[in-house]
Structure 1
Amino acid sequence: MDKIIRWGILGTGKIAKAFAAALREVPDAELAAVASRSLDSATEFAKEYGAKRAHGTYQALADDNGVDVVYIATPHAMHHENAIMCLNGGKALLVEKAFTLNRREAQEIADLARQRKLFVMEAMWTRFQPAILEAKRMIDMGEIGNVRNLQADLGFVANAGPEHRLFNPALGGGALLDLGIYPLSMAAFFLGPVKGASGYGELTPAGVDMQANFVLRHEDGSLSACSCSLNARTPATLSIGGDKGFLRLHGRFHHAEHFTIVLNDGTEREFHFPRIGNGYAHEAMEVGRCLREGLLESPEMPLAETVELMGVLDQLRAQIGVKYSVD
């Protein structure tokens, strides 16, 4: 139970750096290795974040016997190839979102993971934030009654050129996969499985979604209204309504540290649950817990749900006219 989890990080970009910084705050974890397509980049990253080894190829990290689990931090168009390679190398995985470009790719990763009996989890860090977990617990206890409605938005203005991963169709560009996965995942987390989805989008000249709005129908008949945007700064709030009141997450909801419950009689209560550091430590701690307990999936972010939600994104992309070469 005291085993040190030896992490490898595949990629050296912004999200990889945030995760490496967070690992310093995770008990019984060490950054064993980092890989980049450039040895110089990997070496610089290793020096800055204390990785023991630097690899100049991704394959070298997949083959590194001193690594227990790999965090895949490349652009999501590369996740499928990177994940299959690392699973074939015998590595457990934490795969950054969006998990893949489509459901087919996600299913192939899940199938191989089960075949190889290796742990895989989508890096939906929001699900492991203390405030989010407490909000879910209180909703499940009936604090706002019978939950029927969720509203969530996430948007910022991306000042990047058409070649950037956010806007390049070859790299899986678009608001849905980069930002829409957050409100979608949270809607499923709070309201349950998605049984229907309808969306509208604004497309770039290259054919990826600059922004999208979508409505979800959940298994129990409840509804979610979600939006994501790369050309508008939105409040990034999330609220959940029940017949006794509503709960609202404050700040940028995907890493909220406090929330408010407002009941029908006007009473209002505010709750604070700080995260550790930049917030990425919580998902790393969950991976460590699962590995130590011999689990192949996290009950908080199971693979089947990841695959299903990639399928919902496929549906929404088809409706608004976004198509990738791997579809």
Structure 2
Amino acid sequence: MTKWGVVATGKIADIVTSDMALVPDAEVVAVSSRSTPKAEEFARKHGIPRFYGDYHDMLADPDVEVVYVATPHSSHYIVARNALLAGKAVLCEKPITVTLKDAERLVELARKQKVFLMEAMWTRFNPLVKRVRELVAEGAVGSIRSVHADFGGPSAHDPAHWLWDPAAGGGSLLDLGVYPVSFTHMLLGAPESIAAHGTLIDGVDAEAALLLRYQNGSFAQLSSSLVGYYSKAATVVGTAGRIEIPPLFYRPTEFTVVRPDRPDEKHSLEIQGHGYHYQIAEVVKRVQAGQTESPDMPLDETLAVMRTLDEALDQLGVSYR
């Protein structure tokens, strides 16, 4: 049994903790929040035996083996760093940090400490996404020429909300755009060049459009938005066909392989819970095996994605430094 501690009690922590119950070898034994009453309420809801009003106290709990970091973006680095220094394995919500420099520091520390670290890019562990990756590698739709993906939806403008606050790591790219960027990296690798266009509100990117270009001439058109009503779909276009992933591409329950002169090939999946349990099971598997990284979301890949996001944000004029 792998014993977990959860840092933060917001919406994503609530959902992911619920899905942890679907993994037989995962047990949440502690939760922390800046508010002790909130921690207590969260613990009661999820049947967690211990709660703390300071995450440092939770890191001192000898029963906690793995820490799930679900704090706002801007505090991912410091919380994950302290957990690694305490010798705890870490699953950190995406984006792993708000800058490439901080991500590099975190990865360097994890490797130095020889402690497991993984970015919580849950999409990578969805069985259908894994199947898409396999089909592309097998050449099922030929050589990939382009990837198209978007993730966006209108969010009420509120300068007090972290999404619109640069100090909290707000903006569309880090919260939503990381999904299409990571999806593209999974299939095509790091781009040769990046061109970004967007709109800033209150110092964060309210919307962003990225064109990633590759040495062989292939490209990706990706977008994220806090103001536009996007489809949240993805298409992978090859020389011999295409793969269509309907909404929600980052949590797919189906996709279709479309090729000329052949019947469409449909794939489907029934997901238990919200779909986060696949990544929880991955962490449990790797930690129990004494491994420090996941081959499906390796740390070098996390850094490559952060490098793309960092460059795009720099072009847009967004700074979290």
- Report the Cα offset of residue 264 of structure 1: 2.2
1:225 and 2:217 equivalent? no
SS at match of 1:256: coil
**Which residue identity is paired with 2:24?**
P
1:106 is matched with 103
Equivalent residue pairs, number: 321
Q: 1:1-327 residue pairs with structure 2 within 5 A?
A: 4-204=1-201, 206-218=202-214, 220-265=216-261, 267-324=263-320, 326=321
State the distance in 1 between where 2:124 and 2:18 align: 19
Residues 65, 195 of structure 1: alpha-carbon distance in 2 compared, 3 angstrom cutoff: farther
**Which residue identity is paired with 1:70?**
V
- Report the Cα offset of residue 222 of structure 1: 2.2
State the distance in 2 between where 1:274 and 1:128 align: 14
SS at match of 1:25: coil
Moved over 4 A (4+): none
- Report the Cα offset of residue 267 of structure 1: 2.8
State the distance in 2 between where 1:269 and 1:311 align: 35
Equivalent residues of 1:193, 1:219 under 8 A apart? no
After superposing the two structures, state which structure 1 stretch, 159-168 or 280-289, moved more: 159-168
**Which residue identity is paired with 1:213?**
A
State the distance in 2 between where 1:47 and 1:281 align: 21
Equivalent residues of 1:119, 1:295 under 8 A apart? yes
- Report the Cα offset of residue 266 of structure 1: 5.5
Q: Tell me the percent identity.
A: 39
SS at match of 2:48: coil
**Which residue identity is paired with 1:155?**
G
**Which residue identity is paired with 1:101?**
V
State the distance in 2 between where 1:271 and 1:299 align: 24
TM-score when normalising by structure 1: 0.96
Equivalent residues of 1:130, 1:257 under 8 A apart? no
TM-score when normalising by structure 2: 0.98
Residues 220, 302 of structure 1: alpha-carbon distance in 2 compared, 3 angstrom cutoff: farther
**Which residue identity is paired with 1:248?**
E
State the distance in 2 between where 1:119 and 1:211 align: 34
- Report the Cα offset of residue 277 of structure 1: 1.4
Residues 86, 219 of structure 1: alpha-carbon distance in 2 compared, 3 angstrom cutoff: farther
State the distance in 2 between where 1:243 and 1:275 align: 31
State the distance in 1 between where 2:299 and 2:216 align: 21
Residues 220, 291 of structure 1: alpha-carbon distance in 2 compared, 3 angstrom cutoff: farther
SS at match of 2:156: coil
State the distance in 1 between where 2:76 and 2:241 align: 40
Q: Mark the runs of 5 or more structure 2 residues left unpaired by the alignment.
A: none
